[in-house]
Amino acid sequence: MYGISDLFEVGQVVSVSVIGVEKTGHATRVTLSMDPRYLQANYSADVIIPDMVLMGAIESIEDHGYIIDLGVEGAKTFLPAEAARAYIQNVNGKKPLGKNTTIT
């Protein structure tokens, strides 16, 4: 299991969705989420096209790859193990993918 500092680093750009805003006195507290169900809540499967960039979370690890939750109603996704290996090597700092890992 990885801690938050194993998954993210200062200065790293991440996609987030605002899920709450609370104003108290002179301060405003903003609650964010990286959950694809919030990030892509307004998408439907019929707007997804080749080469489109979406956020996804690993839903399950299968024998030959990963089922990815895009948070898009009606979209079924699969990331083949070979594509995941390239992502792990070149993008993810050689950290393995696990359930609930967020990927782009």
CATH number, domain at 74?
Answer: 2.40.50.140
Q: From CA 77, how far away is CA 65, in angstroms rounded?
A: 11
Mean pLDDT for the chain? 84
Answer whether residue 71 shows pLDDT above 70. yes
pLDDT tens digits for range 12-58: 888 889 999 999 999 999 999 988 888 888 899 999 999 998 888 88
pTM of the complete model: 0.66
**Based on the structure, what is the number of domains in the chain?**
1
Q: How far apart are the first and last CA of the chain?
A: 20
Answer whether residue 7 shows pLDDT above 90. no
Q: What Cα–Cα distance (Å) separates residue 32 from each residue in 14, 29, 79?
A: 11, 10, 26
Q: From CA 96, how far away is CA 85, in angstroms rounded?
A: 9
